Amino acid sequence: MLKILRLNTTASLSFLTLLIVSNTAFSNPWLDPDDIRLKHELQLLSDSGMLSAPITTWPLASKDIEANLYKLKDGERIWPVLQHALDTVNEKLNKKNHHKLEIQSRTKELLIRDFSGEGRDKGSLIYDGAWSSEFIDARLKASIADKSSHPNDNNFRLDESYLSSNIGNWKYTVGQQSRYWGPGWDGSLIMSNNARPFPSLSVENELSKAEPDDFFLLRWLGHTKLHAFVGQLESDRGISKAKIIGTRLSIRPHKLFEVGLHRTIQWGGEGQNESASDFFKALFSVRVDNQDGSLGTVTGNSLAGIDARWNLPFGRKNTHYSLYTQYLGEDRTDGSILLGDEIFMIGGSVAGFSKKFKGSWRAYIEATDTSAGSFKGRDNNNIVYNHSSYTDGYRFQDVSLGHGVDSDSKIVSAGLILSQDNGNFWRGWVKHARLNEDGIGNNPIAQEGRKWTALGINLDRPMNKDTKVNLGVQLISDRIVGEENDNDIAVSIGFSKLF
């Protein structure tokens, strides 16, 4: 019988607390998928040829970024905005004595979240601390926030807390880490931080660059990252405590191109077969119960796909153009071993440097469609992120683990980013979504169909080296089918202090 790790959150909290109160040094081995400024700065350095590591599988290993970040030679000078981006990233990598207190408040939650992860709760109070030694890394991020309507949600949370250790080049982590897989800014089809993180055990090669004595294929592929995890979903769902297993391989064979291959499987749970043989049937999509000439069914709920980002080889020296896309397929019902019922995301961005505004900027646009097969002219609704056996679908506490629009929806979004040398970080965005277009099936944010449009602007402003404030305003138009249009103005404010 194959038994997947079950995490004891209380024990983890006790151990983390013991570590932190007896610390000698603080650092963070992971870069979280919620810092959109860091994502912008890393992408800028990558497109400028100053970072060679893959950067579409978050959280990113700090050690890999540091090892593959360009080191300036004595007296070498680069564009001021690149110098600022380099300084920002290095400061993030080298930050010690990491204690942070954060307070956030907003008048209205955001229905659809993006890479920043902002807008989940109306109010929260957060303590964040990290500890590191030669053998183990630990982080305690404890928060008190508004409780959602889901029975398994709590006001007190340990999201992003973990214990982590190395065996050679492999990093093993147990805890509750958010993941964001893919090149998009406003969502990922396969794994995003739209939902809160679930308890998991993961492993990843910490350094992406192959050594001279490594297998020749790894050296030929270029910088390569492999991430795998097994997690456990909540108890109050159709199949209680179902497991979720995920793998992602990201490859950067050329400085202009990065590709990612990914797969996730929902499997097992209370009352389900959790034998080794059943696990491998799910892993290899073996069909079962195919009696009387029927095709049978695939064990578990499987999603798989590919994404790619191409930094276009033209433009001025201080301007970078890129195209990116993500494709995801469900397991087939026609007996084929290939993926079917496809959904996709496509986007493009342009980034550059501005003397007038004294900083770097980026503009992007994305389009996503989660109605299966719609780009082939055959909408197959009520399939993506849903399943006949795992009736709560590809969700954690009723929130999509993939894109924030959930199933049978379309969204077009655009954003503008300005990262100034004085530390100010501006971000503006507009999103228009048609949710659950057929008005049936399971889409928790739009059970009867919904049109949602939002326009927002945010400012992160440092008050000093260790203190930062965040201000935001959003204009929201929301119309549920059969109801009147609801227009609203939302305001958000946040404060963080490093100690």
Spatial separation of the C-alpha atoms in residues 229 and 176, rounded to whole Å: 11
Question: Could you read off the pLDDT of 252-284 as tens digits, one per residue?
Answer: 999 999 999 999 999 999 999 888 888 888 887
User: Mean of the pLDDT values across residues 54-64?
Assistant: 97
Pair 297, 289: CB distance under 8 Å: yes
Q: Is the peptide bond before 59 cis (omega within 30 degrees of 0)?
A: yes
Q: Assess contact for 104 and 128: CB atoms under 8 A.
A: no
Contact 322, 311 (CB under 8 A): yes
Q: Which residues pair with 377 in a beta bridge?
A: none
Q: What is the average per-residue pLDDT within 20-30?
A: 57
**Cα–Cα distances in angstroms (integers) from residue 144 to residues 155, 156, 273, 349, in the given order:** 5, 5, 37, 36
Contacts of 25 (CB under 8 A, 6+ apart): 96, 97, 131, 132, 133
By mean pLDDT, which of 207-221, 337-351, 370-384, 443-457 is the weakest? 370-384
Q: What is the pLDDT of residue 119?
A: 87
8 A C-beta contact, residue 243 and residue 4? yes
Report whether 460 contacts 484 (CB < 8 A).
Answer: no
Amino acid 132: pLDDT? 85
Strands 180-181 and 200-205: unpaired
Each residue of 213-238: pLDDT tens digit? 777 777 788 899 999 999 999 999 99
Structure confidence at residue 289 as a pLDDT band (50, 70, 90): low
* Whole-angstrom distance, CA of residue 362 vs CA of residue 176: 31
Q: Tell me which range, 12-16, 147-151, 181-185, is most confidently predicted by mean pLDDT.
A: 181-185
Dihedral, CA of residue 389, residue 391, residue 392 and residue 395, to nearest 10: 50
Domain ranges of the chain: 9-498
DSSP codes joined into one string, 84-110: HHHHHHHHHHH--S-EEEEEEEESS--
Q: How far apart are the first and last CA of the chain?
A: 48
Query: Cα(351)–Cα(164) distance, rounded to whole angstroms?
Result: 35
- The pLDDT > 90 percentage for the chain reads 66
Buried b (16+ CB within 10 A) or exposed e, 369-386: bbbbbbeeeeebbbbbbb
Q: Where are the beta strands (DSSP E) in 200-298?
A: 200-205, 223-232, 243-254, 257-267, 287-288, 297-298
Mark 146-183 as b/e (b = at least 16 C-beta within 10 Å): eebebeebeeebbbbbbbbeeeeeebebbbbbbbbbbb
Residue in the structure block whose two tokens are 């305003």 = 473
pLDDT at res. 157: 95
Q: Find out whether 437 and 449 touch, Cβ atoms under 8 Å.
A: yes
3-state secondary structure of 46: helix
Predicted local distance difference test score (pLDDT) of residue 18:
45
Question: Crossing angle for the helix pair 36-47 and 80-94, nearest 10 degrees?
Answer: 130
What are the Cα distances from residue 7, in Å, to 10, 92, 163? 9, 30, 12
**Helix (H), strand (E) at residue 325:** strand 319-330
Residue 135 has pLDDT above 70, yes or no: yes
CB–CB of 138/129 below 8 Å? no
Find the angle CA(327)-CA(210)-CA(70) to the nearest 5 degrees: 85
What is the C-alpha to C-alpha distance for residues 162 and 160, in angstroms, rounded to an integer? 6
Q: Quick one: residue 56, left, alpha or beta (phi over 0 = left, psi -120 to 50 = alpha)?
A: alpha
Encode pLDDT of 151-179 as tens digits.
888 899 999 999 999 999 999 999 999 99
CATH number for region 9-498: 2.40.160.130
